[in-house]
Amino acid sequence: MTSTEFRIGGDLDVRRMGFGAMRLPTEAGPARETSLAVARRAVELGVTLIDTAHLYGGGANEELLAEALYPYADGLQITTKVGVARSGSGPEAEWKLDGRPHVLREQVEHALRRLRVERIELLQLHRIDPEVPLADQLGTLRELRTEGKIGRIGLSEVTVAELDQARAIVDVASVQNRYSLVDREHEPVLAACETAGIAFLPWRPVAGAAAGSTAEIAAVAGELDATPAQVALAWLLDHSPVILPIPGTARIDHLEENLAAAHVRLTPAHRARLDRLPLSA
């Protein structure tokens, strides 16, 4: 039986099927109202891990989640990411990696205010900035952890070598890399996380499967009375006990479809067929 829960960092209990908030529109109007409803419905359906980032609207996504969900239900964790900032202002401003200590600290302080919390239980470095020493980036997050402003430190889009380097500096509780049934470029990183008991949060977890990109996924879905996206998510849950999928959507029906994947049970034969699928380039 596939476990439905995981302890991030060994002590933070969450349900393995989470929700990625990136796709939620934040602009005023009907779309924002739908976004609020989607976030609330996710929690109603038992989600205890929601992923956001400073990059998503420059903090607007964080504010949206607070508006929708504060005061937070017991056990609900909203994880955010820092380390990407806009260069300058106005229409010409661009987002770029920025791991300078004062930027990371500022973004964490803003996230605390926007999320209306005194401590972020899981804070992830959105990307490693190659222009700033890794020890400076992670050292800043370690200082914030010591100050009680964050509980655990995670990484995003890292290689095995980068993960090893980071773990020599701080305890790493999570890794968020692109990964799915048909995109397994980061299988070595997943293996390293599994060995170390580190949570692995795949983003774009149903890429290539939501539309039934292969006949085999569609065939398995038909045999299980499920959708291709549900099969892709069920495969992730079954593939490794450290995987915590965070599928995102701006529609309640898609949200409900995704979360129902936790109840899809693959047989060994189904798993073998899916394991043999050709992978995307």
| Catalytically annotated residue among 56, 70, 72, 179 | 56
Residues 69 and 24: their CA atoms lie apart, in Å, by 14
Give the whole-angstrom CA distance, residue 141 versus residue 137.
7
Tokens at residue 239, please? Answer: 């593939």
DSSP 183: B
| Distance in angstroms (rounded) separating the CA atoms of residues 117 and 149 | 9
CA 92 and chain centroid, separation: 29
DSSP 8-state class, residue 153: E
How far is Cα 166 from Cα 171, in angstroms, rounded to an integer? 8
> Is residue 56 flagged as an active site residue?
yes
What span, in angstroms and rounded, lies between the C-alpha atoms of 157 and 91?
28
Catalytic positions are 56
